[in-house]
């Protein structure tokens, strides 16, 4: 059977993106980001995001089709993020996708953005198959998941408060770094040493849970105290925070894989673009004899390739959405 040709569209936050896949092969992957505009405001302004999506969406889709050398009439389905995210932003991609699916008389597939982050690994390694354990670490979610099948997973544990990306963004703000904070903290951390004592991350009862609030408060207090007089190194604080925040994610993920007796670990979400975390995951997986599949950095942060990849899973399951599908600001992980 011919492999399905799927267009993925993503517009949940500040990236307008479109990608085309044939089976698990990525043919094109286009993106327009409004992050530099949003940086002026220290975060994403929903109305600005929606306007930029409206201006960019048709051009991005045309570019994705052009790069893939595909005519829209050849598409088998359109997959689009319907949640979670900013409602106005989601509606831009969703309305566009509905129009296209209706006009071409092909299925519309509604994709849960977080499921997209999980599916990014399938594009990285075409042989990847469940079961495996995944570390999901984005701006809104941080969890360790046991993927039983392509569509069914169990949450082993996760953050009790802030998501990892959120913690990076908040610490970046305290250190006077721009939005989005993660890449700036990472860059600064490379110039520092992890020598500032950090509190032990609070662990929840479940064994796989953890909390970022103590770490964040500790850094806020540390910086405020030092600002009263003593010399201190921002780069050392960044490096110390980074290792305290990320080591636990890598270690807990490996624990989960060993406990569930799976041989493979995957990861996804914006924080997985962090070089320190990627190296740490490589080290702990190698030591534990586990195979690690890490999506390319550009497929960790928001992108449409991952939406198309999750779209393929839904396509194969015959899980199509009605044209009445609405955007949802929040949807559960499962």
Q: Which residues bind ligand KG4 (CB under 6 A)?
A: 13, 117, 138-140, 165-166, 168-169, 180-183, 186, 269-271, 273-274, 301-302
Could you tell which of ligand KG4, Zn ion, none binds residue 88, using a CB distance below 5 to 8 A set by kind?
none
CB of residue 147 vs ligand KG4: minimum separation in angstroms?
18
The residue within the footprint of Zn ion, chosen from 10, 29, 124, 302 (CB under 5 A), is 302
124/302 with CB nearer Zn ion: 302
138/264 with CB nearer ligand KG4: 138
Greatest pairwise CA separation for the chain in angstroms: 70
Question: According to DSSP H, which parts of 190-334 are helical?
Answer: 213-227, 234-259, 275-288, 305-316
How far is the C-alpha of 84 from the C-alpha of 74, rounded, in Å?
29
CB of residue 228 vs ligand KG4: minimum separation in angstroms?
28
Could you tell which of Zn ion, ligand KG4, none binds residue 157, using a CB distance below 5 to 8 A set by kind?
none
| 112: contact with Zn ion by CB under 5 A | no
120/313 with CB nearer ligand KG4: 120
Do residues 280 and 250 make contact, with C-beta atoms less than 8 angstroms apart? yes
Give how far the C-alpha of residue 10 lies from the chain's centroid of Cα atoms, to the nearest Å.
Answer: 12
CB of residue 138 vs Zn ion: minimum separation in angstroms?
5
Segment lying near Zn ion (by CB under 5 A), choices 127-135, 239-247, 283-291, 295-303? 295-303
Q: Which residue of this chain has its Cβ atom nearest to Zn ion in the complex?
A: 302
Name the 3-class secondary structure at 71: coil
CB of residue 270 vs ligand KG4: minimum separation in angstroms?
2
- In 3D space, the residue among 28, 106, 14 whose CA is nearest the CA of residue 66 turns out to be 28
At residue 31, what are phi and psi to the nearest 5 degrees? -150, 140
Q: What are the angstrom distances between the C-alpha of 218 and each of 237, 294, 332? A: 11, 31, 30
50/303 with CB nearer Zn ion: 303
Question: According to DSSP H, which parts of the chain are helical?
Answer: 35-39, 46-68, 87-104, 113-124, 164-174, 181-189, 213-227, 234-259, 275-288, 305-316
Could you tell which of ligand KG4, Zn ion, none binds residue 186, using a CB distance below 5 to 8 A set by kind?
ligand KG4
106/172 with CB nearer ligand KG4: 172
Contacts of 168 (CB under 8 A, 6+ apart): 181, 182, 185, 245, 271
Give how far the C-alpha of residue 25 lies from the chain's centroid of Cα atoms, to the nearest Å.
Answer: 20
Give how far the C-alpha of residue 264 lies from the chain's centroid of Cα atoms, to the nearest Å.
Answer: 19
Do residues 143 and 333 make contact, with C-beta atoms less than 8 angstroms apart? yes
130/295 with CB nearer Zn ion: 295
Could you tell which of Zn ion, ligand KG4, none binds residue 267, using a CB distance below 5 to 8 A set by kind?
none
CB of residue 302 vs Zn ion: minimum separation in angstroms?
4
Q: How many CB atoms lie within 10 A of CB 246?
A: 25
The residue within the footprint of Zn ion, chosen from 81, 112, 134, 138 (CB under 5 A), is 138
| 124: contact with Zn ion by CB under 5 A | no
| 169: contact with Zn ion by CB under 5 A | no
Do residues 93 and 13 make contact, with C-beta atoms less than 8 angstroms apart? no
Give the count of alpha carbons within 13 A of 279, CB side only: 6
Could you tell which of Zn ion, ligand KG4, none binds residue 181, using a CB distance below 5 to 8 A set by kind?
ligand KG4
138/253 with CB nearer Zn ion: 138
CB of residue 76 vs ligand KG4: minimum separation in angstroms?
26
Name the 3-class secondary structure at 3: coil
């Amino acid at each position: 059977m011919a492999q399905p040709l799927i267009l993925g569209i993503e517009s949940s936050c500040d990236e307008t993106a479109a990608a085309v896949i044939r089976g698990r092969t990525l043919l094109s992957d286009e993106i327009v980001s409004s992050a530099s505009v949003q940086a002026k405001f220290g975060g994403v302004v929903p109305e600005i995001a929606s306007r930029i999506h409206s201006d960019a969406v048709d051009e991005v889709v045309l570019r994705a089709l052009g790069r893939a050398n595909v005519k829209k009439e050849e598409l088998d389905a359109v997959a689009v993020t319907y949640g979670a995210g900013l409602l106005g932003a989601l509606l831009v991609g969703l309305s566009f996708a509905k129009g296209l699916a209706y006009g071409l008389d092909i299925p519309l597939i509604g994709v849960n953005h977080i499921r997209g982050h999980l599916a990014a690994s399938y594009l990285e390694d075409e042989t990847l198959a469940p079961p495996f354990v995944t570390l999901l670490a984005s701006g809104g979610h941080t969890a360790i998941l046991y993927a039983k099948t392509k569509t069914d997973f169990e949450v082993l544990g996760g953050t009790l408060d802030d998501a990892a990306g959120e913690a990076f963004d908040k610490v970046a703000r305290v250190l006077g770094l721009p939005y989005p904070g993660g890449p700036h903290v990472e860059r600064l951390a490379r110039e520092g040493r992890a020598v500032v004592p950090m509190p032990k991350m609070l662990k929840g009862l479940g064994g796989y849970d953890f909390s970022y609030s103590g770490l964040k408060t500790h850094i806020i207090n540390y910086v405020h105290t030092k600002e009263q007089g003593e010399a201190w190194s921002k780069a050392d604080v960044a490096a110390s925070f980074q290792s305290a925040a990320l080591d636990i994610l890598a270690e807990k993920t490996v624990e989960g894989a060993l406990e569930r007796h799976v041989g493979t670990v995957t990861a996804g979400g914006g924080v997985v673009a962090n070089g320190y975390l990627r190296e740490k995951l490589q080290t702990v997986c190698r030591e534990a004899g586990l195979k690690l599949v890490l999506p390319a950095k550009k497929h960790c942060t928001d992108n449409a390739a991952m939406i198309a990849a999750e779209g393929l899973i839904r396509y194969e399951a015959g899980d199509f959405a009605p044209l009445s599908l609405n955007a949802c600001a929040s949807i559960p992980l499962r």
